[in-house]
Amino acid sequence: MPIFPDIKENFSLHSFNTFHIESTARYFTEVNTIENFRELIASGKLDESPLLVLGGGSNLLFTGNFNGIAVHIINKGIEIQNRTADAVLVKSAAGENWHEFVTYCVNEGFGGIENLSLIPGNVGSCPIQNIGAYGVEVKDSFHSLEAIDLQTGELLVFSNEECRFGYRDSIFKRDLKGKFAIWSVTFELKLNPVLHIEYGAIKQELDAKGINHASISDVSTAVCSIRQNKLPDPKLLGNAGSFFKNPTVDQKFAEKLLESFPKLVHYPAGNDKVKLAAGWLIEQCGWKGHREGDAGVHENQALVLVNYGRATGSNILTLAHRIQNSVYERFGVKLDMEVNVI
């Protein structure tokens, strides 16, 4: 029997992943205080079984049952740490819903993360993936985070620099993977922000509404509208948002691709690198709207793989591999998955 009293056995994870994949964890527990987490660590249970820290489950693909302990972080709380004439430090518990946190900040007039509205998941997960959308990434407004050492229970603080953020990447996906659980995240947000509306879709949405002098609320509303029109609601159709990362290639390679594919969607990425739109590459290979049983590619956004009902994680992963192979065969470009396969 498990030592820790609140651990459940053979627990369904269906409602803890936005793909709505049927999967069972051998053990499952929830923690909402640091003391609670430290008690779990002291019990030795984390030493006996593989560990999966769960947030909103928006970036997971289960391909089978999890033969370990799933720990769901459900701590709550948002507080203002410091405020000046130009900026404010806002600290959020890891268990807070990301979009609800963004909405809180927008309503308070705190700018910097409005472009990241309506992204599924919890606050604690956002720095791990360095989530981004419409020209903005978490790292742009990130100040620091608190994380629990899963060996000692010690609460440590990591600065922006120490997180080593990259494109959909951080130290918590590499060197420190599986060693820490993020407990809170602090953002430095602006009271007079410079809005990022240069991303075409946002500008078009604002223009369509006749908005010439946008507020952060206007930008958030525009982003929500764009996402609702292009992307499926995970509550209604199982998905994890963007399944693949936008690939980055050398400038010379991009130029050669443009010779063969003049309509190639691409963006400068600095250091003689070019970022390609993975969705465009996938769509050109004929995958948009494709369906194999209950696993498919969304009809409005080729970057999103979906579960129409009874697809298994293996079904979706098989489809993902076929897409990767076809894109590589046609363009010579390798697509990396953004989701974590369990």
Clarify whether residues 121 and 173 are in a common domain.
yes
Clarify whether residues 119 and 29 are in a common domain.
no
Clarify whether residues 168 and 82 are in a common domain.
yes
Give me the domain span that covers residue 54: 8-73
Q: Of the residues 23, 117, 170, 242, which is catalytic?
A: 242
Flag whether pLDDT at 200 surpasses 80.
no
Flag whether pLDDT at 253 surpasses 80.
yes
Provide the CATH number for the domain around residue 115: 3.30.465.10
Clarify whether residues 250 and 304 are in a common domain.
yes
Provide the CATH number for the domain around residue 65: 3.30.43.10
Residue 200 covered by a domain: no
Residue 207 covered by a domain: no
Q: Which of 73, 106, 122 is the last residue of a domain?
A: 73
Residue 233 covered by a domain: no
Task: Give the least confident one: 5-14, 59-68, 152-161.
Answer: 5-14
Clarify whether residues 145 and 171 are in a common domain.
yes
Mind listing the pLDDT tens digit for each residue in 92-145?
Answer: 999 999 999 999 999 999 999 999 999 999 999 999 999 998 889 999 999 999
Q: Which of 29, 55, 73 is the last residue of a domain?
A: 73
CA distance linking residue 296 with residue 302, whole number of Å: 10
Residue 229 covered by a domain: no
Clarify whether residues 252 and 166 are in a common domain.
no
Q: Of the residues 23, 26, 168, 184, which is catalytic?
A: 168
Say what angle helices 200-208 and 216-230 make with each other, to 10 degrees.
110
Residue 99 covered by a domain: yes
Place of tokens 């440590």: 156
Q: Of the residues 137, 188, 205, 338, which is catalytic?
A: 338
Residue 204 covered by a domain: no
Clarify whether residues 89 and 150 are in a common domain.
yes
What CA–CA distances, in Å, run from 99 to 49, 96, 281, 282? 32, 9, 29, 28
Please say if 242 is a catalytic residue. Answer: yes
Please say if 38 is a catalytic residue. Answer: no
Mind listing the pLDDT tens digit for each residue in 229-247?
Answer: 888 999 899 999 899 999 9
Clarify whether residues 327 and 266 are in a common domain.
yes
Kind of pairing between the strands at 155-159 and 142-149: antiparallel
Provide the CATH number for the domain around residue 314: 3.90.78.10
Clarify whether residues 91 and 36 are in a common domain.
no
* pLDDT > 90 fraction of the chain, expressed in percent and rounded: 81
Clarify whether residues 158 and 82 are in a common domain.
yes
Residue 94 covered by a domain: yes
Residue 300 covered by a domain: yes
Please tell me the predicted confidence (pLDDT) of residue 5: 52
Yes or no: say if 232 and 306 are a contact pair by the CB < 8 Å rule: yes
> How many distinct structural domains can be found in the chain?
3
Clarify whether residues 321 and 264 are in a common domain.
yes
What CA–CA distances, in Å, run from 133 to 114, 126, 201, 287? 10, 12, 11, 23
- Across 305-320, average pLDDT: 97
Mind listing the pLDDT tens digit for each residue in 37-52?
Answer: 999 999 888 888 899 9
Mind listing the pLDDT tens digit for each residue in 161-198?
Answer: 999 999 889 999 999 999 999 999 999 999 999 899 88
Clarify whether residues 45 and 144 are in a common domain.
no
Q: Which of 25, 50, 73 is the last residue of a domain?
A: 73
CB atoms within 10 A of CB 2: 16
CA distance linking residue 56 with residue 27, whole number of Å: 18
